[in-house]
Amino acid sequence: MAMMDGADLRVGPLAQTAPARCDCCGHLPPAGTVAGLSLCTTCLPAFALDEYDIDCVTRLIWCPLFDQGALSRLVTALQAVSAKHETTLWSQELSGEPLAAKRVFDTLKKQGEPAVRLLGTDRPSRLRAAARALPRRPDHALSGIRCLTVGSWFAKSPARPISGTWEIQTV
């Protein structure tokens, strides 16, 4: 997750010499860039904190056991399980593998509560202000804060963003 103070963290186009895999998760092909990093559609929201409506597609969670890349790979796997069964993580009538995927995803979403206790928010658009307000103590680190992609905006078409804006299906 990026928080470069003062940097403009918006999605830009891929360079012609973009790597074959995302710079964050190392799994999917990149779809755009933020601050010079080539990122896939799952990882883009974790870095594009200045994008319009970023709060519609991602939430801050407390998840110190995973780095951002591992969390993005997990979300991609949960989405893949759902897609395999022609469902989504937001479907109501689930059973078997899709239900198990939904339960894991719901458990991850609940980790937003510790983020709110620590930062006062789970909204990525407010991360910079929240971080500046924290005491400057080594024992009060943000190293466990991650961005959980909660929107299904990337599920149908990986060609995101279009004209520098997100096409979003919110939860």
* Residue 129: domain span: 55-149
What's the average model confidence in pLDDT over 57-65? 92
pLDDT exceeds cutoff 90 at 109: yes
Say if 39 falls within a structural domain: no
pLDDT exceeds cutoff 90 at 63: yes
- Does the predicted TM-score (pTM) go above 0.85? no
Say if 8 falls within a structural domain: no
Say if 63 falls within a structural domain: yes
Count of structural domains, the chain: 1
Say if 48 falls within a structural domain: no
* More confident: 46 or 53: 46
pLDDT band at 139 (very low <50, low <70, confident <90, very high): low
Report the pLDDT value the prediction gives residue 28, as an integer from 0 to 100: 87
Say if 76 falls within a structural domain: yes
Report the pLDDT value the prediction gives residue 142, as an integer from 0 to 100: 65
pLDDT exceeds cutoff 80 at 42: yes
Say if 3 falls within a structural domain: no
Q: Print the SS3 string covering the chain.
A: CCCCCCCCCCCECCCCCCCCCCCCCCCCCCCEEECCEEECCCCHHHHCCCCCCHHHCEEEEECCCCCHHHHHHHHHHHHHHHHHCCCCCCCCCCCHHHHHHHHHHHHHHHCHHHHHHHHCCCCHHHHHHHHHHCCCCCCCCCCCEEEEECCCCCCCCCCCCECCECCCCCC
